[in-house]
Amino acid sequence: MPKFESILPRGLAGLALTLMLAPLPATAQVVTITDPWVRGTVAEQKVTGAFMTLTAPSESRLVEVRSPVAGTVEIHEMKMDGNVMRMRPIRSLELPPGKAVELKPGGYHVMLMDLKKPLNAGDVVPLTLTVEGPGSKRQTVNVDVPVRALNAAAGSGAKPATEHKH
Ligand SMILES: [Cu+2]
């Protein structure tokens, strides 16, 4: 008994336990990003959309998106204006707990503006999402997003890029 005590002092045992438990909060998912993609562009096109499905574990909101390929990135919503569907920037996108929020053509989307070069199918666009969780705690999530061809029949019913003209 006394020998055991000397090998594993109480303080050290406590430390080992702390280290084992530490990874749990560190890996707690901020937000799950499913099926992200960016619509490819043609030469001289300065604007395109990024789409994905976001699921947050707790009450959160997407407050900012950044990307090195774009001078400006905005979060957009589509809204009827009379008989015309228009998009406009929103300050944040609510992510209710456990609910999948879809960013898709014709709906919410991330607008990549001021593109520095054309985006071709097969390119990868790094995005940094800032998500504000409970207690206004902000965390960033990096995701590498594949570019799909401009006219590709992409995932959830992608349509031609015309709806993204400003
Ligand atoms: Cu837009």
pLDDT over threshold 60, residue 1 = no
Two tokens, residue 4: 């055991």
Q: How far is the CA of 21 from the centre of ligand 1 (A)?
A: 43
pLDDT confidence of residue 153: 53
- C-alpha to C-alpha distances, 165 to 46, 148, 162, nearest whole angstrom: 10, 18, 6
pLDDT confidence of residue 23: 47
Two tokens, residue 6: 């000397």
Residue 113's closest CA among 148, 161, 69?
Answer: 69
Q: How far is the CA of 22 from the centre of ligand 1 (A)?
A: 41
Measure the CA–CA gap between 100 and 49, rounded to whole angstroms: 19
Quick one: what percent of the chain has pLDDT higher than 70? 73
What are the counts of helices (DSSP H) followed by strands (DSSP E) for the chain?
3, 10
By the CB criterion, residues less than 5 angstroms from ion ligand 1 are 76, 87, 111
Q: How far is the CA of 87 from the centre of ligand 1 (A)?
A: 5
Kindly state the average pLDDT of the residues 23-37. Answer: 74
Q: How far is the CA of 113 from the centre of ligand 1 (A)?
A: 9
The answer to whether the beta carbons of residues 75 and 112 sit under 8 Å apart is no
Two tokens, residue 145: 């997003």
Two tokens, residue 39: 């619509």
Q: How far is the CA of 19 from the centre of ligand 1 (A)?
A: 45
pLDDT over threshold 60, residue 11 = no
CA 57 to chain centre: 14
Kindly state the average pLDDT of the residues 51-77. Answer: 97
Residue 161's closest CA among 60, 37, 59?
Answer: 37
pLDDT confidence of residue 30: 82
The predicted model scores a pTM of: 0.75
Residues, the chain: 166
Q: How far is the CA of 45 from the centre of ligand 1 (A)?
A: 14
| Residue pLDDT, tens place only, 120-165 | 999 999 999 999 998 889 999 999 999 999 776 544 444 444 444 4
